[in-house]
Structure 1
Amino acid sequence: MKWYISTWLVLAMLISAPVFAQNDDADSDVPKYVMFIEDHVPADKVKTYESGISYFRNGAKSHNADMRWSCYQLSDGRFVYTVPMDSYAELDEDPWADMVKKMDSMEVSKARTQILGSLTNSSEYMVKPMAELSYRPAVKAPQTRGTYVDVHYFFYTPENGRTLKGLFGEMKELWEAKGIDQAYGVDKTDFGGDRPHWIVYSVYKDEAEFQRKSKEMEAQMGDEFTQLHEKIASHCTEVVDVTAIYRPDLSYHGEEVTADR
């Protein structure tokens, strides 16, 4: 997670939440941008990596730092951090500088080494939450804040961007027409990253709820969903489906929260 360790985090704060930021109560609470930091960590390095991240997370907590981020552990081995932002100007801020001066320099160096030595790759990019393409049920069922996230990455080339935006609009219309009671969010890369992509995600209480609701929605939408999804995929260079677990022990908000950004 370079944000913690390079030049003391000038790149620090992109969007949080919900990959996966999701807010079912007020779209106005959704940030304008979210910074994603993706760390690729091999299985045999996870414990060492988590130890380093925990040191900085605990430092932020003990010093009551004015910042927040959410951590998600993906099924493909990535750790993804999301940081909410209202403008790109926040990238010029360095919220860690004063805090790090108060921490033990030897321990700081040790934690940095633990993190850097565990990474096979790391990248940062900004995304923009697309409220107009995200879906919120018209009649809201009781919402349970969740820790299990279903995530889909749709990679594309620029010439297909407009077409995909239209198709995601059609998907939202389908969910509205079918009266689906599960919300989902849509984000789009805005700056940085190797390839432009859309991120579509939905948050569940746990894996059991995800499996149950997936079957219910499949039966409710039938072939219409399958055909539209295939059409979307046909305009993409790659589609990656993963699941993610929210990690409150590696996240910091000044208070305990769940998978909402």
Structure 2
Amino acid sequence: MKTKLENLILLALLAILPGSILAQESNANQSFAVHEDVVKLGMTAEYEDTCKELVGHLKKHNIQEARFITASISDNRYIYVSPIENMADLDKPLFSTLSEKMGKEAMSALFNRMDKCYDVEHDYIITLDPSLSYQPQGINQTPEGQDYRKFHYLYVAPANRALIKEKMKAVRDMFASKGSQMYYRVYRSGFGTRGEFYMVAVAAKDQLDYAQKAMANDELIGEDGGKIMWDLFNNLLSYEEFTGQMRPDMAYAPMN
């Protein structure tokens, strides 16, 4: 766990934006390193307390190198995300300042406590694809007041790769032509993922707000739009859907 957790914070150190690391207004493809902890159900409270304690040490010492966001997912995964420029970023030194400030033994003990909270963890890379995303006023991954998330995983067979991309562009163009208020961001799977997929992330205020947006969108796109959507889904290898919540209480950004 120590190595893995250090890796996820290393990824956070790579953030280069002055504000929220996931509040970009850019049309460029941006890759992100993702670390997942699959937390034991009975250890959720201890896991969160330990993460918050780590964040507390970062705040106490105002560690300038660190910056990360956190999301909790309905299947008890906790996801940490940071932008990277290339694979070489993953080899940069870890946690030297925090270790000096809080003490090496204390930091190791904190990581060891987190170790026992899960048996499975994953690390992989995804890339934001603005050309397939639908957010007319510009890509914003953390819209204010919309911490609720719906994550749609669209799994793709390699033989259908070009076809699925074409279908996803058709959906985006249809949403744009209808003036849909259901905005979404699309990410492509990359190194280390389990299978090839597109992940579609939709932000809302809460579950009710999402349901209302989805219902309004269904009415807006109508039967013709529905056919375009089903044409995409009928060509997928498989599909999964998860709900999630952004966790600012488990995130960290240094003070200037």
Q: Output the aligned Cα RMSD.
A: 2.9
Match of 1:8 among 3, 6, 9: 6
Q: Does 1:228 align with 2:228?
A: yes
Is the contact made by 1:137 and 1:180 (CA closer than 8 Å) also made in structure 2? Answer: no
What amino acid is aligned across from residue 180 of structure 1 in structure 2?
Answer: S
Please say if 1:41 is aligned against 2:10: no
Aligned-pair identity (%): 19
**Secondary structure of the residue that 1:82 maps to in structure 2?**
strand
In structure 1, the residue matched to 2:120 is 121
| Residue ranges of structure 2 left out of the alignment (5+ in a row) | 16-20
Q: Quick check: 1:137–1:182 contact (8 Å CA) kept in 2?
A: no
1:51–1:111 Cα contact (<8 Å) kept: no
Please list the CA deviations of residues 116-172 of structure 1 after superposition, one character each: whole Å capped at 9, or x if unmatched: 211131101111110111112369xxx744111111011222222211111111110
Q: 1:22 to 1:240 in 2, by over 3 A?
A: farther
1:76 and 2:75 equivalent?
Answer: yes
- In structure 2, what residue type is equivalent to 1:58? G
Report the CA distance between 1:234 and its aligned residue. 2.9
Aligned to 2:152, the other structure's residue is in SS state: strand
Deviations 1:11-61, CA, capped at 9 Å, x for gaps: 831798xxx9465xx225x77211111111122110111122223222222
Alignment of 1:156-167 (within 5 A): 156-167=156-167
Aligned partners of 1:31 and 1:86 also within 8 Å: no
Q: Which residue of 2 aligns with 1:108?
A: 107
Verify the 8 A CA contact 2:149 2:245 in the aligned structure 1: yes
TM-score (norm 1): 0.83
Shift of residue 8, structure 1, vs aligned partner: 3.5
Q: Assess, with a 3 A threshold, how the Cα gap between structure 1 residues 224 and 12 changes in structure 2: closer, same or farther.
A: farther
Match runs of 1:205-244 below 5 Å? 205-244=205-244
Q: Which residue of 2 aligns with 1:131?
A: 130
> 2 CA distance for matches of 1:75 and 1:34?
21
* Residue matched to 1:98: 97
Distance 1:121 1:228 in 2: 38
TM-score between the two structures when normalised by the length of structure 2: 0.84
